[in-house]
Amino acid sequence: MNYYSLREFIERLEFEKELVRIPEPVSPILEISEIADRMSKMPGGGKALLFENVEGSDMPVLINAFGSHKRMNAALGVHDIEEVPREIERFIKLSPPQSLFDKVKLLPLLLEASAFPPKLVGANKAPCQEVVHLGDDVDLSRIPILQCWPNDAGRFITFPMVINRDYSRKIRNVGLYRMQVFDDKTTAMHWHIHKDGAHFFHEYRRQNKIMEVAVAIGGDPAVCYSASAPLPYGIDEFLLAGFIRKTPVELVKCKTVELEVPASAEIVLEGFIDPAELRKEGPFGDHTGYYSQDGDYPVLHLTAITHRKDPIYLTTIVGKPPQEDFYLGNATERVFMPLLKTQAPEIVDMHMPVEGVFHNCVIVSIDKRYPLQARRLMSAFWGLGQMSFVKTILVVDAAVDVKNVESVLRVLLDTVDMDRDLFFPDGVLDVLNHASDNFLYGSKLGIDATTKIEGEPGYGATVETREPPTPDIVDSVMKQFSEVRAARVLELQVKRPVLLVSREKTGPFQTVEFIREFFQQAEFDAVAILIVFEGHVDVQNYSEAMWKLFNNIDPRRDFHFHEGRLGIDAGKKFPEEGYKQEWPDEIEMSEEIKNAVDKKYGRLFQ
């Protein structure tokens, strides 16, 4: 099933019992975030939430709309997400016609493809322009924009489909870029340096020309998804949406800027950016689970707000995983597999675990045919679009289920030679990566966990098996080291036992010294890998520990090898240790809001 508008999708979610309507009054300042965060962390992602009585606004708020595998399938009009990449493969694998008969066979596909590009409609067919506010009537305060987390710099529009064109006006870009509200008529435009929007902005900046921008909020689900997708440069996101919908996206010309927006959108913001004007934006509680740092970003001046007569404000929150964005990202993982395979046909499967928050960890299985093929694949990924930001890539054999954590860990701990199979190149990193000593770049980790073949280093070699740790090892560690708050042995019968430790760190080099001293103690010889976290980390919670590990390591700096054993410093770093960035705070909701939501939470879902 495909949808013309967001509200048709809402009807489907309600029919499928995937939507909860909440009539009780709620505040857009932190309360909605706390409720949505609790819902998103329920098994399977919980339900979509429609808040019908939001303080300070007549507009209802929809959140967590895409926050489950079932809802993402519904959003893309399929029963199984794998249907979309199979459909993409049909077009990618087209062979050039060799005869008239071949051309005739291609005709149905060509006719189908002709329906994908967007088409322009008149204002009379554009619900997004049923109400038009211009000049002094432009007022963002009418929209129930959320403040998501206590230390956020203010309210942020978190699901805006930002539309612009390059300086030549030949290429359109649609992307999701958060927008901090400065006042009723201005917002920030948070373009990361690596994104197409930022690239276009710098083109205008070099020419000292005003840049026009339009922002659509609450389009149909295929359009919303496509705006989040990491398409190659120059590919129109509305074309992808048309492919998913199997019908063209209808666009309408804006009222005050020379851009086009989805006609069925709920709300549209129009305006311009003066490239000479930058303003401090942030901090903001981001999808890494930490607050991203503030910085200077362009300012969007609004010239118009248009909307439906009864608009619905679509929004989302990001924070400690899992959140709604995990399911959008998982859809991208599956949808873009055929495109990755055109660059690396040996790929069998790929998985981005939720704890890796997209850019911190990717696990790939390959059909291996020649020596060092895994390293070739890693190098290809690190030079490929948004894959270039990935910090850790683990490559396994085709038979390994990349989504099965235990299977992957067994391969990692039973077969990987730490001297031979780990390597640490330098490269670009995501803007939100806070672990490396330097902003925007640092070390990466490649792990070749594939079976070695004839002619490859390590062929025929085996990994030394260590005796399992004794049952009292945790007590021994905590008795020996008073600063240790908790410890846990990874519960797997593997050749290299792993110990997770949380300990207080109050100054530089303490963790490195602890690792060295630990490995010098003969009573702990059974531990092959020691991972050290900050004192507040719950090492009994595997998911939390892995989230911390992927977020907080700069691999070359934080991997410490001792005679075939490995200690990993997964905690905060200090300037004395060479760290040049500012270590961010973790996202935590205030106790006041938690208590307020506790009192009403049960009533909301009766």
Go through the chain and tell me how many residues it has.
606
* Residue 261 structure tokens: 């927006």
CA distance 506 to 229: 41
* Residue 141 structure tokens: 């305060």
Q: Which amino acid is at 443?
A: S
For 1, 9, 12, 49, 542, the CA distances from 15, given in Å and listed in that order, are 13, 10, 5, 14, 36
User: Which candidate in 166, 220, 236, 286 is catalytic?
Assistant: 286
Helix/strand number for the chain, H first, E second: 17, 30
Matching residue, tokens 């670009």: 428
CB 63 within 8 A of CB 316: yes
Short-list 496, 231, 270, CA closest to 385? 231
Short-list 468, 460, 462, CA closest to 496? 468
Matching residue, tokens 């700096």: 557
Q: Which amino acid is at 163?
A: I
CA distance 434 to 583: 7
For 109, 177, 188, 476, the CA distances from 278, given in Å and listed in that order, are 47, 16, 9, 56
CB 348 within 8 A of CB 340: no
Short-list 523, 512, 522, CA closest to 566? 512
Helix, strand, or coil (residue 396): strand
**Exposed/middle/buried for 221, CB within 10 Å: 0-12, 13-18, 19+?**
buried
Torsion of CA 432, 33, 273, 291, to 10 degrees: -30
Q: Which amino acid is at 514?
A: F
DSSP 495: S
296 is catalytic: no
CA distance 161 to 269: 10
* Residue 328 structure tokens: 């959008």
Short-list 349, 269, 263, CA closest to 303? 269
CB 278 within 8 A of CB 297: yes
CB 337 within 8 A of CB 345: no
Residues taking part in catalysis: 286
